[in-house]
């Protein structure tokens, strides 16, 4: 069920954090990997080295997922190198963390473009390369349904992302393409270092998680692997939450 040999996965923002864990987990189960990044090439190279330890190919592509031309160029390279793509994980994200009244048009568009609209471009340009039974998986957060201090633009963009996933699931379903969201609780990656209230977020998440520990990048990668497998064939348009029960605590 988890033998993915011969399949190719693109992971946007696959160079570090959750994206890296997903790249490694999929490679461990036989997939060739495309790691996308935008600024930090060394991280992408480090991830590629991990992927290659499993005997899989790893292609590194610098592309800003918010720019249509970058996305188009990325798929042109993938077409040339691999001829197709079986799994698209839309994981890259960014955002300005500020109170609502300090947010500008630029902050709003930044988060929306990278975190939500990117998936639209990725699917539009990637679809010709996607095989039947392909998987599209968006990585989201509990901020899509919860109000979290300073998280407004990212939270709103994640809500848009999850809605986009549902609409894509309906349109791509008849082509045999599964489209779902994997949503995580607080995960201690570089992203959290940007939060002025990082310690409070982590302490709160830990104390309110029934399973008694924080969600790790590997937890998110495991569920992503499951969504790529035939075991998840009838899951379509859903948000699968990986948070040890954090979200159900009132």
Ligand X SMILES: NC(=O)c1ccc[n+]([C@@H]2O[C@H](COP(=O)([O-])OP(=O)(O)OC[C@H]3O[C@@H](n4cnc5c(N)ncnc54)[C@H](OP(=O)(O)O)[C@@H]3O)[C@@H](O)[C@H]2O)c1
Q: Which residues are part of the catalytic machinery?
A: 151, 158
User: Any idea what the Cα angle at residue 190 is, between residues 188 and 192, rounded to 5°?
Assistant: 60
What is the widest separation between alpha-carbon atoms in the chain? 50
In this structure, the strands spanning 85-90 and 130-141 are: parallel
Alpha carbon distance 48, 119 (integer Å): 23
Establish if 43 lies at the interface with ligand X (CB under 6 A).
Answer: yes
Q: Which of 187, 223, 225, 227 binds ligand X (CB under 6 A)?
A: 187
Which two structure tokens, joined as six digits, stand for 182?
């994997």
Whether 201 contacts 186, CB under 8 Å: yes
Binding letters toward ligand X, positions 75-104, x by CB under 6 A? ----------------xxxx----------
Establish if 209 lies at the interface with ligand X (CB under 6 A).
Answer: no
Contact stretch for ligand X (CB under 6 A) within 53-61, 126-134, 170-178, 185-193? 185-193
Q: Which of 37, 75, 151, 246 binds ligand X (CB under 6 A)?
A: 37
Least gap, CB of 50 to ligand X (angstroms): 14
Binding letters toward ligand X, positions 133-172, x by CB under 6 A? ------x-x-------------------------------
User: Any idea what the Cα angle at residue 211 is, between residues 2 and 187, rounded to 5°?
Assistant: 70
Q: Which of 106, 131, 15 is nearest to 63 (CA)?
A: 15
Q: Which of 79, 127, 148, 192 binds ligand X (CB under 6 A)?
A: 192
Q: Which of 74, 160, 186, 221 binds ligand X (CB under 6 A)?
A: 186
Q: Length of the chain in residues, anyone?
A: 250
Q: Which of 184, 221, 223, 240 binds ligand X (CB under 6 A)?
A: 184
Residues 16-35 that bind ligand X (CB under 6 A): 16-19
Instruction: Report residue 201: phi and psi, to 5°.
Output: -60, -45
Least gap, CB of 185 to ligand X (angstroms): 7
Ordered DSSP codes for 201-235: HHHHHHHT-TTSS-B-HHHHHHHHHHHHSGGGTT-
SS3 132: strand
The residues of the shown chain that bind ligand X, judged by CB under 6 A, are: 12-13, 15-19, 36-40, 43, 64-66, 91-94, 114, 139, 141, 184, 186-187, 189-192
């Amino acid at each position: 069920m988890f033998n993915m040999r011969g399949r190719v996965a693109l992971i946007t923002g696959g160079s570090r954090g959750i994206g890296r864990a997903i790249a490694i987990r999929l490679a461990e189960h036989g997939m060739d990997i495309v790691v996308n990044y935008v600024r930090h090439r060394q991280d992408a190279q480090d991830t590629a080295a991990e992927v290659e330890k499993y005997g899989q190919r790893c292609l590194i592509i610098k592309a800003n997922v918010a720019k249509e031309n970058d996305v188009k160029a990325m798929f042109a390279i993938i077409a040339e190198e691999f001829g197709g793509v079986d799994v698209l994980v839309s994981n890259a994200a960014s955002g300005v963390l500020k109170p609502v009244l300090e947010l500008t048009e630029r902050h709003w568009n930044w988060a929306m473009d990278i975190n939500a609209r990117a998936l639209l471009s990725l699917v539009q340009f990637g679809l010709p390369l996607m095989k039947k039974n392909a998987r599209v998986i968006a990585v989201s957060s509990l901020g899509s349904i919860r109000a979290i201090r300073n998280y407004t633009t990212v939270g709103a963009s994640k809500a848009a992302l999850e809605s986009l996933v549902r609409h894509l699931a309906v349109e791509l379903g008849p082509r045999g393409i599964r489209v779902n969201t994997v949503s995580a609780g607080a995960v201690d990656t570089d992203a959290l270092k940007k939060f002025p209230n990082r310690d409070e977020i982590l302490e709160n998440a830990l104390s309110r998680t029934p399973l008694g520990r924080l969600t790790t990048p590997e937890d998110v990668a495991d569920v992503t692997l499951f969504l790529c497998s035939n075991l998840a064939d009838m899951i379509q348009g859903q948000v699968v939450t990986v948070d040890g029960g954090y979200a159900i605590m009132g």
